[in-house]
Structure 1
């Protein structure tokens, strides 16, 4: 028999026919259990559909160049082929609760026959949150009574349409064979099997989708940008604290502006162990709005672009390429400084920032036979707001003719809020903890060298950030998964610079430095931190 025409033919009741039904156009749908007929062979042409109606069906053989639909009101429907199944680049549509091993799913059963060719499996998630799969995973193709499916040979009879399917924080791939690599059945798994030689670097690891590592790295990247702006504001008013150390400069106002460029590498322990490497570049400018003999107050603003490449636990692979973070932040701040006659000072700074950016997954394919790689890059927009407060004190001490050493102490608190981010089959809710860090250091400065008005300086700082965690909750229809990236580190910072006085009111300044990690769950290193600018005093 041949089915033609764009309409749908529905079969109901007991089907005792034997023979072949070629579906050339439209659809054939089962209206009752076993309505397709155990003695019937089906041939589905391209663009034609065989629909089980969400009911258990058994047929004799199947050639699929079109679409098979097993979906009903609930997952758990089966189509049993008691013979050969041949996929001619056709599709198989299933509904699955994407959760742990053994979750409810529709299933294709090959009973005693042979599966050959190529079939793309499309999985619709039935409100599954996603979970790490133990053991074999979720069986979507079952081979019984000696059936073969290429699972132990070419491993190419079945493939997921998009290479993977995501639910919550997790990513599922289609694997031939059980957790030990044996058998002819096919499984969805979010954990790479320990016995699979194709993934030696990731065996036994949970397969998190790449967006998870990107969002886990984001709070630390933005905190680094916040501190870069704060340091820029400090640098702009700091150095030629010539006014502060002169007899007449205490009541003179300052204005300043400079550009900066920093290259950093941030590594964190945690659920997906994110590692980010990249840069922040931008400009910061500010001015005193009041300058008295002992008190000065001012404002500043800045804009910074950030671009980082992120690696982490992705698709069960440790240290895999997750993708990129990039965006821009705009900042505004105010400062208050009190200085006594000896030059000792105390300052308070408040800073607010608004960041807008994007995450982009890498979309890297694997070379493993029978397992498709990731799809192309996926992106999501991110928005955050930060509030920073800094309290600092220092006192200059003469250490020789023309030289001063200024011991300093500083405490910084950063609080950040993220807007929720919608991902396919999940929502990311970032709730990073409030970051608290401190600094002790010394700044060594010299008086002008010769008539050129050149004044060198150097800084040495020890930073320590208190232990904590940046937490994201990846929410699905039925619950959420908690992903944490550890925070807390110690680092040593060294820098040197100089200012060049052009005249009584104007000077240029520049600085270069870096930072090296000295311990902690988070390791922050800055390979290059450079700044150059101009300062005006009046």
Structure 2
């Protein structure tokens, strides 16, 4: 911009304008002047000083020299024609009703206030600065314009490489730039009409303010930038050429103000940077759309790529950006062409609340560059709904990690194809490495894994979540076709002779010719029955399903095999809790001899005659039959302290005693079972603590027969934790009842054989739990255990101490019944009680003093059924008589 220096040599103060020789300065500060023309070949200066009241009535005309007018007051009631020189006009105040025409050559115009009818700067590289005031009609022919305030009716910059910078003020109507490389920048203020640039490689930037009309770029390789702010209220039309549009740092509120951004014909590129965009249908005819720098595209409609010439395009998403979709689609301009979605970022279909029916459709190719796909599914059986990526016609490649959130799914066994999460349709094909499951996915009793391919024809390239390992069925062998029946020929009938008339006497009859035989009519052959043609859904898949990369080892699918359930490891861990609790209580209960030593030690009577204590432990492996066939490899240890409360002598023969005891014990073990499709897989650990209190009633006779009855209550506490860290607390109670009897028979002078029988009844009551995946409920039928055994006992003395060695053999039988673990109140997992175990053991009872006895024993146990179960248990006790 040029700053005009005015040197005060006024020709006169009053406004009486007339031509002057030389470079004179004229001042109009008061009064009136008529029209004024000075075409001399010298430069001219006209000043309307601030505070003046001078008025020119009519037109001011200068010649082709460098003329300047500085108007800080007054009025010009007409036009100003500055001629063809390099002219300057400064308008700070006042009024010009007509037009200022600055003519050819570079001119400068500065407007700080006042009112002007219109301005035409003419040819040459002109400059324009407006900080205030009003141009009522038009500003035309400018080349370099800066506007920070004020108001203009319209702007028409016409030819040359124009620049217009708007940071304040308002253009009431259109801003138009003609041919050339034009640059329009809007950082503030407003444009009420359109921005229109003609042919040339033009650049339009909006970073603030407001543009209410359309932005029209015309043909050429144009650039549109919308940065940081501002409102674009109408369509942006880039027209012909290889155009670029960049939208950076814009909120959804700002981008939604623009109804259309059209790339027009050509190879066009649209880039979003750190911006939030909705309504993809507002962005049309772009061959490349980039979603970069933490941008977000919300899709509920179609994003159409390409134009009538290119027919298609590509959508690129970088690692920091997200495409959200409820029912969006990426399609090509020509429906027979394939669009491409290249994803290094996140495809998020989870933003629609708890909806599990959202989709994103790509009509063409999908390629993942370590991208992510977020879905919501209701994890149940194969009919369960799920969000879905749909790819038609093209190819599915690259790598994409999928993260699935379960919405109200209770888990179930999937049949057939499973829950579809990626649908390949209309001939689309998929690479086996295209997707992986990022998170572990469990519901109810099942783990869900991601598989490429299903069981039926047409599903080979789609992707499914399944809680089973399935394989396509064997193709049906068509029945042998029956031979086509050959029609039986119909025999030709013999011709029947026509009867002759009675011969007349004369003339003699002539022989008659028989008629020719007629062709028999053969009935048409019946059409053969045809088998119905199976529909594609009934045909098996041509390839076997493949688990997604990163999936744990699973059973190999075998065509025609029964589906293999994929129970999660916690199922076996929780199924083992009731039988483990029953085993814990049963070990505390023990047998009469494990607790009391021997009948011969029960000679005391009266109140509190004796006390006893023992420690015990065992190491065992045991497996149970059931849904997941849980097994336990555990150690168990504890102690028991009891005391006779009272003992009665009945008729001097039998002794009856009652007593109380306590028995804390602990079980710690490793769990295995049917998990992840494999049997006997290690699944976790279990720890149980049992605090028992009980009472016993024992009747013994001089012949050493005995009957022992016991009741015991056990408070259970502990936890069961899977290998992947999921756990539940195991809290509850157990009630155990036992009745045992035995009677010795003399074998030799030192040995007796004592048959024994014991019946045990147990009830296990465990509290319901929740492991973060599902509700876990326990329901146990009573455990009814029977024992038949024989104890062979000897009697000796060692150093004056009576010792009684013994051997024993037992058969333990757990009758029918089962435990049920229920997941989310729907899926039931049962474990059978039934087992048969044999045990062989021995021990010794030593009476170390008249009031003190010590006893110990050990047994080896072995399952007698098909289960590989065994164990060793031992007990050491002492009895003291007071």
Q: Could you tell me which residue of structure 2 aligns to residue 50 of structure 1?
A: 323
Q: Could you tell me which residue of structure 2 aligns to residue 366 of structure 1?
A: none
Deviations 1:397-456 (A, max 9, x none): 333213333222221110011111202331110101111121222222222433243321
In structure 2, list runs of 5 or more residues that go unmatched.
Answer: 1-244, 253-275, 307-312, 332-338, 472-543, 547-552, 650-654
For 1:209 and 1:176, how far apart are their aligned partners in 2? 21
For 2:770 and 2:616, how far apart are their aligned partners in 1? 33
Q: 1:384 aligns with which of 732, 737, 744?
A: 732
For 1:105 and 1:353, how far apart are their aligned partners in 2? 46
Q: 1:240 aligns with which of 586, 590, 598?
A: 598
Q: Could you tell me which residue of structure 2 aligns to residue 87 of structure 1?
A: 368
For 1:524 and 1:506, how far apart are their aligned partners in 2? 41
**When the two structures are aligned, how many residues end up with a matched partner?**
508
Q: 1:272 aligns with which of 624, 628, 638?
A: 628
Q: Could you tell me which residue of structure 1 aligns to residue 861 of structure 2?
A: 515
SS in 2 for 1:431: strand
SS in 2 for 1:129: coil
Q: Could you tell me which residue of structure 1 aligns to residue 829 of structure 2?
A: 483
Q: Could you tell me which residue of structure 2 aligns to residue 20 of structure 1?
A: 289
Bigger Cα displacement from structure 2, 96-105 vs 164-173: 96-105
- State whether structure 2 residue 579 is matched by structure 1 residue 220: yes
Q: Could you tell me which residue of structure 1 aligns to residue 344 of structure 2?
A: 65
Q: Could you tell me which residue of structure 1 aligns to residue 448 of structure 2?
A: 172
Contact 1:233 1:300 (8 Å CA) reproduced: no
- State whether structure 2 residue 810 is matched by structure 1 residue 461: yes
Deviations 1:322-351 (A, max 9, x none): 222223222111111122343322222111
Bigger Cα displacement from structure 2, 165-174 vs 82-91: 82-91
Q: Could you tell me which residue of structure 2 aligns to residue 323 of structure 1?
A: 684
Which runs of structure 2 are paired with 1:218-367 in the superposition (5 Å)? Answer: 218-231=577-590, 234-237=593-596, 239-244=597-602, 249=604, 253-293=609-649, 294-362=655-723
For 2:815 and 2:305, how far apart are their aligned partners in 1? 68
For 2:860 and 2:767, how far apart are their aligned partners in 1? 32
CA RMSD of aligned residues (A): 2.6
User: Deviation at 1:4?
Assistant: 4.8
For 2:305 and 2:818, how far apart are their aligned partners in 1? 58
User: Deviation at 1:202?
Assistant: 7.5
Q: Could you tell me which residue of structure 1 aligns to residue 237 of structure 2?
A: none
User: Deviation at 1:2?
Assistant: 5.4
For 2:746 and 2:777, how far apart are their aligned partners in 1? 52
Q: Could you tell me which residue of structure 2 aligns to residue 369 of structure 1?
A: none
SS in 1 for 2:811: strand
User: Deviation at 1:105?
Assistant: 1.1
Deviations 1:27-68 (A, max 9, x none): 2223x432x44557433333432111x224335333333322
Q: Which has the higher contact order (CA 8 A, sep 6+)?
A: 1
Q: Could you tell me which residue of structure 2 aligns to residue 506 of structure 1?
A: 852
Bigger Cα displacement from structure 2, 227-236 vs 464-473: 227-236
Bigger Cα displacement from structure 2, 211-220 vs 314-323: 314-323
Q: 1:241 to 1:442 in 2, by over 3 A?
A: same
Bigger Cα displacement from structure 2, 180-189 vs 137-146: 180-189
Q: 1:410 to 1:61 in 2, by over 3 A?
A: same
For 1:6 and 1:275, how far apart are their aligned partners in 2? 60
For 2:621 and 2:456, how far apart are their aligned partners in 1? 38
In structure 1, list runs of 5 or more residues that go unmatched.
Answer: 363-375
Contact 1:97 1:128 (8 Å CA) reproduced: yes
For 1:388 and 1:313, how far apart are their aligned partners in 2? 30
SS in 2 for 1:174: strand
Contact 1:24 1:44 (8 Å CA) reproduced: no
TM-score (norm 2): 0.54
User: Deviation at 1:146?
Assistant: 4.1
SS in 1 for 2:818: strand
Deviations 1:253-303 (A, max 9, x none): 332222222122222222112222222122222221222222211111122
For 1:471 and 1:401, how far apart are their aligned partners in 2? 52
Q: Could you tell me which residue of structure 2 aligns to residue 103 of structure 1?
A: 384
User: Deviation at 1:3?
Assistant: 5.8
Contact 1:470 1:484 (8 Å CA) reproduced: yes
Q: Could you tell me which residue of structure 2 aligns to residue 370 of structure 1?
A: none
Contact 2:291 2:321 (8 Å CA) reproduced: no
User: Deviation at 1:24?
Assistant: 1.4
Q: Could you tell me which residue of structure 1 aligns to residue 436 of structure 2?
A: 159
SS in 2 for 1:68: strand
Q: Could you tell me which residue of structure 1 aligns to residue 564 of structure 2?
A: 205
- State whether structure 2 residue 881 is matched by structure 1 residue 537: yes
Contact 2:756 2:790 (8 Å CA) reproduced: yes
For 2:709 and 2:639, how far apart are their aligned partners in 1? 21
For 2:850 and 2:632, how far apart are their aligned partners in 1? 44
Contact 1:2 1:23 (8 Å CA) reproduced: no
For 1:426 and 1:534, how far apart are their aligned partners in 2? 48
- State whether structure 2 residue 399 is matched by structure 1 residue 118: yes
SS in 2 for 1:449: strand
Q: 1:220 to 1:490 in 2, by over 3 A?
A: same
User: Deviation at 1:130?
Assistant: 1.6
Contact 1:2 1:24 (8 Å CA) reproduced: no
SS in 2 for 1:113: strand
Larger radius of gyration: 2
User: Deviation at 1:355?
Assistant: 1.7
Q: 1:321 to 1:524 in 2, by over 3 A?
A: closer
